[in-house]
Amino acid sequence: MEQVADKTTIKTQTGEQIIETVAEKIVRFRMSVPAVLFLEMSKPMSVLGSSALVFFGPFITLFVDSTKFYQFTELLEDRENIEKVISAIEKKEEVFTQSRKDSEKSAKPVAKIINHKSKVEND
């Protein structure tokens, strides 16, 4: 009985790691909006969508790790996991957007200093 609980915990931890990795890659490639749109549309047919990914698996695994890909397709069979993926994407997108805004704010004073120095040198 305890072994079953341990396997479920390990499977859940692995699933959460896969969800975080997928969300991170989606945000890094700036595909958040299309990914969330696709996931929201596929929620009612989660099993069918997962089966479609398995069907296209031989082509997709040319570009990604096959073990993780098939684990991810298994996760997408459950609607709750789809919602977890969507919320992970949204959280990572928010952090990415905030860090980009912060870096833009810190870059503006540096640009002003550089422009000021070049004006002084030209005069």
* Mean pLDDT lowest among 20-34, 93-107, 108-122: 108-122
Question: Quick check: pTM over 0.75?
Answer: no
Instruction: Note the pLDDT of residue 5.
Output: 41
pLDDT for res 3: 42
Q: What confidence tens digit (pLDDT) does each residue in 14-46 have? A: 888 989 998 999 999 999 999 999 888 888 888
Q: What is the DSSP code string of 96-123?
A: HHHHHHHHHHHHHHHHHHHHHHHHHHH-
